[in-house]
């Protein structure tokens, strides 16, 4: 029993190292592959627990211009001015990165009092 104990303690650090290297390295690599390693960097990807399919959703301020299977996240302001009117400037909210429409000088947003709302008409005052 004494010899077995000595052998176990002699090999234990190596076994722990190998288990950490093998398990940790492959687990991190797998996570990186689908959480933006090989997918759009402006998307959040996760594995569907039911189907095991990888599902990606564009972050706030981005719109999927690809497909459900091939997510391509494009800055929403570059697509039809982010949904803002022709006399408004599209930008992003500093905290949430949601689309923000700001009326140009001499125009007001008559669609809503909120700067976060992208729809509405901008008219001359």
Query: 1-55: per-residue pLDDT in tens?
Result: 555 556 555 655 665 565 565 554 444 444 445 554 578 889 998 888 898 888 8
Residue 47 shares a structural domain with residue 96: no
Pairwise CA distance, residues 21 & 29, whole Å = 12
Residue 69 shares a structural domain with residue 13: yes
Residue 64 shares a structural domain with residue 85: no
CB burial class (10 A; 0-12, 13-18, 19+) of residue 44? middle
Tell me the percentage of the chain whose pLDDT exceeds 70. 58
Domain that holds residue 39: 2-75
| Cβ atoms of 57 and 43 closer than 8 Å | yes
* 3-class SS of residue 114: coil
Residue 71 shares a structural domain with residue 81: no
Residue 46 shares a structural domain with residue 92: no
Residue 84 shares a structural domain with residue 107: yes
Residue 53 shares a structural domain with residue 90: no
Residue 59 shares a structural domain with residue 90: no
| Cβ atoms of 61 and 97 closer than 8 Å | yes
Question: Which domain-ending residue is among 37, 57, 75?
Answer: 75
- How many domains are contained in the chain? 2
* 3-class SS of residue 81: helix
């Amino acid at each position: 029993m004494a010899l077995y104990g000595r052998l176990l303690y002699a090999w234990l650090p190596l076994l722990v190292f190998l288990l950490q290297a093998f398990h940790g390295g492959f687990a991190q690599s797998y996570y990186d592959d689908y959480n933006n390693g090989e997918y759009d960097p402006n998307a959040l990807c996760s594995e569907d627990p039911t189907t095991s399919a990888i599902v990606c959703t564009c972050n706030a301020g981005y719109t999927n211009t690809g497909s459900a299977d091939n997510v391509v996240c494009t800055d929403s302001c570059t697509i039809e001015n982010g949904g803002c009117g022709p006399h408004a400037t599209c930008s992003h909210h500093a905290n949430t990165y949601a689309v923000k429409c700001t009326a140009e000088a001499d125009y007001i947003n008559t669609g809503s009092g909120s700067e976060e709302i992208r729809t509405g008409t901008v008219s001359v005052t």
